[in-house]
Amino acid sequence: MTVQELEKEQTEDLLEYMKWGDQPEHKDLADNAFIAFCLRYRDRVQRICSIIANKRGFDDRVGDEIAEYVFARVLKYKKYDSKICKFRDRDRCIELYLYGIAQNGLSNYEASGKNPFKDAKIETEFPDVEKFIDLAEEELPEEKKTELRKKDEIIKLALERLSPAHKTIYLTYIPYENKLNKGEHYMPRELLKQLQEKLGLSQITIRVYKNQAYKKIQEYLEIYGAK
């Protein structure tokens, strides 16, 4: 199922699909379920993370980093148990689960005395697919290497049909919405502000450009047969 199809699924089902990621035949479904889950909750999680960070004297940047932490933990541990939900509104239980992770994340942040998250930056160039292949934790079979190279070329071809701004927005967003980057799907607000200033675009326009880029890439992947 595609991300667009999964947007219609119940949230508890998305969490269940994410647990199937260690099964090769269900990996794409699990990855797409995670993206759909992030899209559904990221605004709410960012808002509450900003609130709890501000209450403890931190700025919105820290709130953004805690939001990133929340989704990374959801992806890594997948511990949500729907059986313990006592509310008729099932999504309320999930929100409480996410907010609990946020509180723990902020406590860990305070205890560490330093920023545990990676520096974010605007991306304008494609990552080297060959370097990614070389740095894979396990030796990839030739079939998988060929698939990755083909997909890389198709994405480049699709983005060539759009403006340079579309390319920059896509390349900057993708690390935060791709499981290959350890679940770091969420773009910090500070980075979004930098992107707006660099491109001279509003947040709404950036969102439109991002959606156009994803749509064009999906269109080319379907046409040229890459999964």
Mean pLDDT of 196-206: 91
Q: How confident is the model at residue 128 (pLDDT cuts 50, 70, 90)?
A: confident
Q: How many domains in the chain?
A: 2
Same domain, 43 and 102: yes
pLDDT category of residue 141 using cuts at 50, 70 and 90: confident
208 & 142 share domain: yes
Residue 177 resides in a domain: yes
Do residue 33 and residue 94 come from a single domain? yes
Residues 155 and 64 in one domain: no
The whole-model pTM stands at: 0.51
For residue 184, give the nearest of 126, 120, 115 by alpha carbon: 120
pLDDT at 153: 92
**In-domain check, residue 21:** yes
Domain coverage including residue 190: 129-224
Residues 217, 137 share a domain: yes
CB pairs under 8 A, 24+ apart, for 15-19?
15/74, 15/78, 15/80, 15/82, 15/94, 18/74, 18/75, 18/78, 19/78
* Same-domain status, 192 and 98: no
167, 66: one domain: no
* 192 has a pLDDT exceeding 60: yes
Report helix, strand or coil for 31. Answer: helix
The CATH number given to whatever domain includes residue 60 is: 1.10.1740
Closest CA to 12 of 104, 100, 92: 92
**Predicted local confidence at residue 184, as pLDDT:** 44
Above 60 in pLDDT, residue 137?
Answer: no
